[in-house]
Amino acid sequence: MSKDTQGKEVKVRISRRDFMKIASITGLTAWMVEKGLTWKDLFNMAASTDNDPVNVIWTGNGWCGGNTIAFIDAMNPAVEDVITEVTFNLQPIPLRTPSISGLPNVNLVYHPILMPQDDVAYPTMEAALAGDFDPYVLVVEGTMFDEFGLYGYTKPDGSFWCSAGRTPGGHVLLCDEFVFNLMKNAALVYATGACATYGGIPATTNGLGYRSPTYAMGMLDDPYRGIMGFPAYLHEVYSKGLGTFRGETVIDEDIYAVTNSPYNTSYPGPSYHWQSKLGQPIIAIAADPPAGDWIMRTLVAGVLYAKGLAPAPNTYLDVFNRPKFFYGNETHQNCPRAGFFAQGIFAQNFGDPQCTYSLGCKGTEANSPAPRLGWIGGVGGCTRGGVCIACTAPGFPDLYEPFYAPPNAPTLPSTTLLAAAVAAGIIVGAGSYALSRRRGKPSVPKTKEVS
């Protein structure tokens, strides 16, 4: 239910069957606007009669913590609206009654920053493998690393790139091992941030085709840079018998076989075809980092699906496994300056109100809602005065550097820009852009006379 400005309660009656229909994502937002509903109202209507929690296990690997900061900053819904429990010493601790009273219980089981202790990685993994947390959602933040020398770099014996903690015997628990085992039994797997999705900056080839000794990678393949995603990497490591650390085999199963997933090398790569326990692909919440609301809403959609209250993720993902309700349009299409682009009116300096394509904006080559939704509560955001650097796309950063160097003018380097040129007459705009570059000021193309 929702309340009008006078405090009168307005009841909206909806059956679970009807909710399943309207939650088909494409018409959901329009339906909410029509009914005057908020997200909280929607979740209340989608209440589950099953009180068993959906657990969240959040791993940090090669990370900076940026996605966690964004997660904490989420406002619609906020963390306190969604998380109903936390786990301490493998025991759930109820929090205050959440604002969204009807949402299925969500228990944050593990988070290396937010949890009160950091020595429970191994027990958490063991409990998850034993089914104690079923169903659970796995969130991967940060890159994964080539711990097993698949690409030929030999580390000193017993050394490692990333540790999630210690085993009971005091040995290092590799991040690769931790995530590998958690993937086996996860209901859903999310990769959040540019690093976790397609490799991001740690996986850069520096424009020369050479990667760092870590061979950092995301959970999904980056077809533009030829970087293998983590499931495909694990498959290769197991197939070649390389999954040993300090004499112990830690990659002891083929991640595809154990989850009954097809190993398919078709575009955009085999990691896109890996499937979780519920038969769903890895869901990419792309950006460096994404806004907190993008993370929270995507996770909540997964929680509702796990309880049978929302569509399966594979029904609303694009070719790079990003939710279409956030990444369905180009950043350029969501930009309030797009009209200047169509007219060929370009900014000369940051702070100018015109289109920032001339300052290096890559909004025509990336997909995100950043210009429209902002960062926190609709305020701020990377494109509110800055340029899009395409951090939501595979190929970032290599394909989009230098970030702030103006391009040579719209010379139609992609089918996206070609379509824009045909639809908006940007051929005229390109000439105006070149002219404005020479004159050093924004220029408006001359209007052709109509005969």
Q: How far apart are CA 441 and CA 361, in angstroms?
A: 18
Q: How far apart are CA 354 and CA 304, in angstroms?
A: 41
Residue 332 annotated as binding?
yes
Residue 382 annotated as binding?
no
C-alpha distances (whole Å) from 263 to each of 101, 138, 164, 272 are 41, 21, 27, 9
Q: Which of 275, 277, 234, 271 minimizes the C-alpha distance to 133?
A: 277
Residue 64 annotated as binding?
yes
- 420 DSSP assignment: H
Q: Which of 336, 359, 343, 364 minimizes the C-alpha distance to 443?
A: 343
Contact 306, 54 (CB under 8 A): yes
Residue 388 annotated as binding?
yes
Residue 391 annotated as binding?
yes
For 82, list phi and psi in degrees, rounded to 5.
-110, -50
- Roughly what angle, to the nearest 10 degrees, separates helices 175-185 and 230-239? 100
Residue 162 annotated as binding?
no
Residue 378 CB partners (closer than 8 Å, separation 6+): none
Per the annotation, where are the binding residues for [4Fe-4S] cluster?
64, 195, 332, 335, 355, 361
Per the annotation, where are the binding residues?
64, 195, 332, 335, 355, 361, 388, 391
Per the annotation, where are the binding residues for [3Fe-4S] cluster?
388, 391
